[in-house]
Amino acid sequence: MSKQRPTVSWEEVNSFLDRIAEEYSAMNISGIYGIPRGGIVLATWLSYKMSKPLLMGAADNCIIIDDIADTGETLVHYARNSSDAGRDRGYHIVTLFYKEGSSVVPEKYGFVKGDQWVVFPWEV
């Protein structure tokens, strides 16, 4: 028996990134950094939408984007320096999915993730 695997469409991803681009457009965002691997597609797409550089690492006042904040392990280093924590670097962490119980709660996320594996359109 195979596990049910919810899929995300290109349209849902595009809609999420449109919302992020609009919500952060008035801010002085320095660029977009995508967490390897899951955030790279999202970061590239968002950098085009916002006409901001795609960064090779986190920089002051950038958007850090990833596909999922699941356990939070990947994002915890950046969260310590995020704008939510009132730090100087002003990282803005956004994810397409957020799983309740993650040690990092993104500023913005598109969907709440359950225990099921998520299949992204770039994986099919």
What is the pLDDT, as a whole number, of residue 1?
38
Q: Are the C-beta atoms of 28 and 61 separated by less than 8 Å?
A: yes
Distances (CA, A) of 107 to 1, 6, 118: 37, 23, 21
Question: Per-residue pLDDT for 10 more than 90?
Answer: yes
pLDDT digits (tens, 9 = 90+) for 17-47: 999 999 999 999 999 999 999 999 999 999 9
What is the pLDDT, as a whole number, of residue 114?
87
- Percentage of the chain beyond pLDDT 70 is 88
What is the pLDDT, as a whole number, of residue 8?
93
pLDDT digits (tens, 9 = 90+) for 84-121: 544 456 789 999 999 999 988 999 999 998 888 999 99
10-118 in CATH: which number? 3.40.50.2020
Q: Which amino acid is located at 58 in the chain?
A: A
Q: Is the overall model pTM greater than 0.85, yes or no?
A: yes
| Closest-CA residue to 21 (of 56, 55, 53, 47) | 47
